[in-house]
Amino acid sequence: MIENVDVFIEKIKSAKTIAISGHKNPDGDAICSALALMKIIELNFGKKPVVIYDGNIPRDFDNVPLRKQAVYWEQIPENSKYDLYILVDYGTRSHLGGAEKFVNNSDFVVEIDHHINDDLVGNLCFDNTSKAAAAQIVYDIVRAGNLEMDSDIKDLLMIAIITDTGHFKFVKNSDVFIDSAQLVDSGVNVSNLMNLLNNKDKKTVLVESATVSKAEFFMKNRLVVASIRKPDYKRLDGRGELVLSLLAQIHGVEFVVLLKEHQDNQIGISIRSKTVPINQVAESFGGGGHLYAAGAVIEDTFDNVYGKVVEAFKDM
Ligand SMILES: [Mn+2]
């Protein structure tokens, strides 16, 4: 089912210091899988890893178990060195952000991921792009290693699955329901977790809804492009998932693009597709991700990026 879990467990047992990170600007899968791993190692091996993050953890996740134990990378002493570094849901090396120097400084790197990535960072890799959430691979490791879980760990894995599937909209295969069913049978309350996630900042929802109402449609409504310019971007907490999911609900829309002006000449793009894979579009802009949900950060003016993005969909 899953190989080399025994090697991973030996590495955990022999490590004196362990750190864990997901991608920069963590989403639910990145932060909750990291916190779940931290607690799994604490509960089963009696040692306490540090969870290190870069960027901003959205307020949505303020109430998830153990949230306060995640440490911002600038709080970590400059020359810290870890025997074992675990990367979970990290994407590619460029998404490590401030954690990268600690990863480079560590003795052994284990990665657990479900992103498409040609340049693996780990010495030992548990990668599976057929999983809807990296948390499912963490759960596979728990089962393969006969490890214990407590209610915090189960809740964290379930929140990661709920958020990375867009509340079960992006299901790749039946695994995600089997894993969810097992978590529910072992005591997880899904409706409590859904309520716990209803915790967005008012200003974020207002920016997102205004962005939806100003979106522009192309290709007979098959493509919709929404934009968040710099002043509004500062008021946005998270990645604008609400914009992407609302626009995708429209009849006839196949592709949704959200442009975010991080700063002058630096534009983040998020791309979603309901029909054909669009990861190659993100890759053509130097980014990546999943087949139907991908993104990139482009160093160019807002107007240029807007034009290039619309052009990129011309033949699709
Ligand atoms: Mn993920």
Give the angle 204-280-236 at the CA atoms, nearest 5°: 10
Q: How far is the CA of 29 from the centre of ligand 1 (A)?
A: 5
Q: Which residue has the tokens 């969810």?
A: 180
Please state, for a pLDDT cut of 90, what percent of the chain lies above it: 96
Tens of pLDDT, residue by residue over 98-143, are 999 999 999 999 999 999 988 999 999 999 999 999 999 999 999 9
Average pLDDT score over residue span 33-54: 98
Q: How far is the CA of 219 from the centre of ligand 1 (A)?
A: 30
Tell whether the model's pLDDT for residue 290 goes beyond 70.
Answer: yes
Q: How far is the CA of 126 from the centre of ligand 1 (A)?
A: 14
Q: How far is the CA of 303 from the centre of ligand 1 (A)?
A: 30
Number of Cα atoms under 13 Å in the Cβ half of residue 265: 1
Which pLDDT belongs to residue 170?
86
The pTM score is 0.91
Q: How far is the CA of 288 from the centre of ligand 1 (A)?
A: 13
In order of 20, 61, 113, 218, the CA distances from 89 in angstroms are 11, 16, 5, 33
Which pLDDT belongs to residue 169?
86
Amino acid at 94: S
Q: How far is the CA of 162 from the centre of ligand 1 (A)?
A: 11
Q: Which of 1-5, 60-64, 276-280 has the lowest mean pLDDT?
A: 1-5
Q: How far is the CA of 300 from the centre of ligand 1 (A)?
A: 27
In order of 36, 86, 102, 131, 260, the CA distances from 63 in angstroms are 14, 24, 27, 25, 27
Which pLDDT belongs to residue 1?
64
Q: How far is the CA of 94 from the centre of ligand 1 (A)?
A: 16
pLDDT-derived band at 261 (thresholds 50, 70, 90) equals: very high
Domains belonging to the chain, first-starting first, are 5-197 (3.90.1640.10), 202-312 (3.10.310.30)
Give the three-state DSSP class for 76.
coil
Q: How far is the CA of 17 from the centre of ligand 1 (A)?
A: 25
Q: How far is the CA of 113 from the centre of ligand 1 (A)?
A: 7
Tens of pLDDT, residue by residue over 71-107, are 999 999 999 999 999 999 999 999 999 999 999 999 9
Please state, for a pLDDT cut of 70, what percent of the chain lies above it: 100
Q: How far is the CA of 114 from the centre of ligand 1 (A)?
A: 7
Q: How far is the CA of 286 from the centre of ligand 1 (A)?
A: 19
Tens of pLDDT, residue by residue over 188-212, are 999 999 999 999 999 999 999 999 9
pLDDT-derived band at 62 (thresholds 50, 70, 90) equals: very high
